[in-house]
Every structure is written in structure tokens, then in C-alpha cells.
Structure 1
Amino acid sequence: MIKTRKNRLIYQCEGLIVTKTLKPPKLKIVYWGCRIMKIKPWSIGRVAKLSNRKLYGYALTLKTDALRAIGILEEITDIFAKRGIPIIDLETSCMPEAIRIIIYVDLTNVGIPSGEVSKKLSEVKFVRAIDEIKPINEGLIIDYVHFPPVLMGDRVVLLRKPVFDALIKGGYEKFGSAYAVFLYNVGFKMGIEGYKSHLKLVGNKSDTLLKFGGMIFEHVGFGIVEVEGVDKFSLRATCKVYKSCECELFKGANEPSSHFIRGMLAGWFTGFFNQGMIAKEIECIAKGDEYCRFKILRKY
């Protein structure tokens, strides 16, 4: 929906309402977030656990031509369906050099040799190689065939909450309040580098950068960010972060507790504005607020 009001143009673009001044051009841009958040957890990590079940896995490598082929997944899953083998997990990975598929199945009460299934899978068009994945123990299986995990071509490191907790809270136990300065500066550097990466991936269009940066922030698990306002004329922004991975660790602290995420936002917007920025946390879930809210301002 597009509306024109005097010298203002207002339009909605995939979850962002964008307001631009028409005259003078490029003087001021303000973005208002209007995305409705719903918490829907997604299991990652290529790990399956079902107690007292006989789990087994197949790792398929396909030629890249399979990406444009029709019915390949159907042909693969039919091999299991025709043998009465339930699939409990199926994941695909599209890489420049190959298409990879992980399939975990439940062989409990299925009297079919795993080798027979591998033979049938190898006959599917475009399949280049098959690796069988054996369970670690009964009911637990993990992909040990593929390494490293990547996101958009870059290597990633996955941290479960107990490890992330140790990284954040453990530092305070060892170094005291000075650790907050360390976290802020690490976050700041990460924010700047993240912005540079996003710029290369999606270009310099402001609304696209804001949307993509927020979605990546959410995708990797830092939290759900809502950009309330961005003013490129006065160089300031306001953001909400729901379910902050950092501040959730400090619930009950009764004070703003974001340093790592706060630094990350300051660094990202330093790149966005091309000016040194700082971030101040004015609301925080650690002190009982519904979300963490940040003001991003010029450093000087």
C-alpha cells in the first residue's frame, strides 16, 4: 500500500513501513518495524534422539544438476516408504560443488539390511555417493560425515545454552565487572564485520540491509530484533530485542544486563551510518521488562 502526503512518501515493504522525504532527496529516511513475532523453535544440528529405537542414517551426495530436477526427493523417500521404514529427519544442503541430503530413519522392527537400502539409493539419478551413519548408541544418532557447518558459505560454530552460559556468565565469575567491557568490544567488532558481510551479500539499499541484518540476527539465535525507528539524518535508531540470548541468562538481576548484544548493535549501526555509534539499553528482560530496548546514538 502506497500513500503520498505532502512531500512524504509512505509505503509498506515486507514487514517494514518506510517513510522517505521526497524533497530534498536522501535527506532523511525513517524505518518503522511492524513485524508480529511468533516463537516457533527449530531443531538444528543433525542430531536425533529417540529412546529405545533402532536409528540409522544415510548421507547422500548428489550432482548439482539435481537442484533443477523434478521428483528426486520423492524418488528417494519412496525407497523408504515402500519398505515400511519411517523417516524421522530429512535435511538438505545446497553447496556449490554438490547437493547433500541427510536422512535418519527408524529401523525398529524392520527386517531389512541397511545395505539393501543403500544399494537402492545409489540407483537414483544424480546420486554420486552414499555414506551410512551408524548410531552412537541405541536411540541416539549424530552426523559425523560432514564438517564444517556453514551458513551462506562461511563456517559457523554452534553453541548450546550450557556452553554459551559458561562463555558469558563464566567470564564475570573470573574477571568481575570488567568482563562487561570485553563483551561490549567483542560484540562491537562482530557487529561491524557482520555489517560488512551483509553489505556484500545484499547491497547498500537501506531497507534491505535492515531486514536482512535483523533476520540473520534471529536466524543464528541471538534474539528477535525489531527496528522501531532509524533516522539517517540525525544518526539515531531505536531497536527492541525479544528473547535476547544474553539477557535471558541474567533474569532477576534487576538492572540492564546487555553488553555483548548492545556492542553488536552499536557496531552494526556504525557500519550502517558510517559514523561511530554507541548503544544504550533502556529496557531489559533481566530487570523484568517484556523485551530489551536499545537507543543507538552518535558516539560524539
Structure 2
Amino acid sequence: MVYGIMEFRGLVAVKPLELSRIIYSPGKKLFGVIINAANKPQVYSSIINLLAKYSILPTSLFLISEDNVAEIMWVLDFSNAKISVEKIGKEILDVEGVHNVKYIKPLLKSLLVDTYHFPLLVRGERACIFKKSVLRELFRDIKKRLGETGKIFLFYQGMEDGRNIFEDYRKYAKSNRGLLALFAEVVKAVGWGVVEYIETDFARKTFLLKIYECMECELCKPSKEPCGFFSKGIIAGLLSRIVNEEVEVHELMCIAKGDPYCLFRAGPRG
């Protein structure tokens, strides 16, 4: 499936992000170059000028800086380069402010894997990337093999995660409304979906929200019933902590059924 720029009613347009952990570009001569250098504009300018001088094209770039020192990982296309990766590495090392240069060679022709960075972290906590094909088997098999028990398991697992999310996000958000806004942005940032709040009534403790492109529900297409049990649990756990009362969550619409988005309604039990 090819993803382009997506627009959702009332929301800012979003564009897919290729994480560039594994890059396959047929016909291209790819190398990874990791540069440790002073975090100064003139350092970046000098490196860019060297790449231009030898007809080397950047394919992707990852940069992180700490204490005025930057680590830059470039994926570079040497298809039309007038120099070898080792020689350009030596010239980059001669740039004032550059401390060290390392290389990642292609694993196979036109296939480069980032073998330098491990483990992956999200705000200091270890994380792992699973492709949709792997997640599909995980979520679908739980429901298929365990039936209603599997659905209940996913819901309660989601509920526990929702409670943990509240405890984590309250460190940053100054209000419950701000916490919900942060939750929506993080859901999008991690690739789970795009949240739109239709109703947030903290006095009545009722909420209505849409999730566009919900990963969990996309995994179980096609379905005759809503299947966002894990997502529903997360919403229930989070909102229960926010309103300090157990809430019920119902999925009224679901993309797995062919609806344009998943719609969740939450409110007090009973």
C-alpha cells in the first residue's frame, strides 16, 4: 500500500515518514556515514560543500546533539560520486570541528541496514518497531484463537496501558485538556492513528472521539463488527484516570467494517 499526504476534516494534513532503518533503493550505491562533530553551522556547511563537490547525494539524515556535540548519520548515494567512501571520509575528518567518522557498508546491493544504532529508545525507554504484517498476526491471532477471551484480554491490556499513559503524561500536561491534547499528538507520532475529539465534557464525564487510520482496526479488515478492543481499553483506562471514575467505552464505527473512521463514545458506567 502506497501512502501519500493524507488530510482529515478539521485536522492538519499529515505525511508518511519512512524511518530509514532499512533502505532499499534499486540501482543506487548506498553507504552510511556517521559523523561525530561540534554542533556548529560551519561544520554542516563544510560537509555539504564536500558532498556537492564530489556529486554525492544525501538520501536520508538523522541528527542528534547533546552538550554541543552532534552525531549525524547520513545515508549517501555514491552512484555518481567522484570519490570513494573512504576518501570522502578522510576529507570530512579534516573539517574543523569533526571528531570522528564511521561507515556502514551495504548489506546487499542497494540495500543498507542501520546496524549502528541499538537499542531504539523513546524518551529513554527501550522501543521496538514491528511492521504491519507482524502486528496483524499478533492481534488477529489472539482474537481468532481465543475468541471472546482474546478480545477481553486485549481490552484489559489496553486499559492498563491507558492508566500508565495517564501517569506518564501528567508529568508534562498542566491540565486534563492538555493531557488529552498530548495523547492525541503522541498517538499520531507513534503511528497508531490520528485522533480527533468531537466532544470533551469534563463536567458530565462524556467524550466522543474519532480515530482515523487506527492501526489495530486496519489489521482486522474486513470485519463484520468493530474490533478496536485494545484501543478501546486504552481510552477507557486513560479517561477513567482523568475523571477519577470508571468509564465505559463503546466503538460505534470502525474502519474494519468499511466506515471512514473509528468512533468511540465514553461515559460513566450505568
TM-score w.r.t. length of structure 1: 0.81
Per-residue CA deviations over 1:92-123 (Å, capped at 9, x if unaligned) read 13457953211011112434121211122223
Counterpart-to-counterpart distance in 1, 2:49 and 2:244 = 54
The answer on whether the counterparts of 2:43 and 2:98 sit within 8 Å (CA) in structure 1 is no
What is the aligned counterpart of 2:210 among 210, 215, 240? 240
Counterpart-to-counterpart distance in 1, 2:37 and 2:247 = 47
Q: Does 1:107 align with 2:82?
A: no
Counterpart-to-counterpart distance in 1, 2:150 and 2:222 = 19
Per-residue CA deviations over 1:44-101 (Å, capped at 9, x if unaligned) read 14322111221111012335xx1xx334332222221111111111121345795321
Unaligned residue ranges in structure 2 (runs of 5+): 1-8
Which SS does the other structure have where 2:107 is aligned?
coil
What is the aligned counterpart of 2:35 among 60, 80, 91? 60
Q: CA RMSD in A?
A: 2.2
Which SS does the other structure have where 1:132 is aligned?
strand
TM-score w.r.t. length of structure 2: 0.89
Q: Does 1:138 align with 2:113?
A: no
Distance change (3 Å), C-alpha of 1:207 and 1:139: same
Counterpart-to-counterpart distance in 1, 2:152 and 2:174 = 31
Q: CA deviation at 1:218?
A: 0.7
Counterpart-to-counterpart distance in 2, 1:185 and 1:128 = 50
Which residue of 2 is the match for residue 150 of structure 1? Answer: 121
Which residue of 2 is the match for residue 6 of structure 1? Answer: none
Alignment coverage as a number of residue pairs: 263
Q: CA deviation at 1:240?
A: 0.4
Per-residue CA deviations over 1:102-153 (Å, capped at 9, x if unaligned) read 1011112434121211122223344333220000101000110111122233
Distance change (3 Å), C-alpha of 1:152 and 1:255: same
Q: CA deviation at 1:252?
A: 2.7
Counterpart-to-counterpart distance in 2, 1:270 and 1:100 = 42
Letter in 1 for 2:16: P
Which SS does the other structure have where 2:41 is aligned?
coil
Which residue of 1 is the match for residue 53 of structure 2? Answer: 82
What is the aligned counterpart of 2:87 among 113, 116, 138? 116
Counterpart-to-counterpart distance in 2, 1:97 and 1:275 = 47
The answer on whether the counterparts of 1:235 and 1:297 sit within 8 Å (CA) in structure 2 is yes
How many percent identity over aligned positions? 26
What is the aligned counterpart of 2:194 among 205, 224, 235? 224
Letter in 2 for 1:247: C
The answer on whether the counterparts of 1:192 and 1:267 sit within 8 Å (CA) in structure 2 is yes
Which SS does the other structure have where 1:254 is aligned?
coil
Which SS does the other structure have where 1:162 is aligned?
helix
Per-residue CA deviations over 1:136-195 (Å, capped at 9, x if unaligned) read 101000110111122233222111111111111122233223111111111111111122
Counterpart-to-counterpart distance in 2, 1:281 and 1:96 = 47
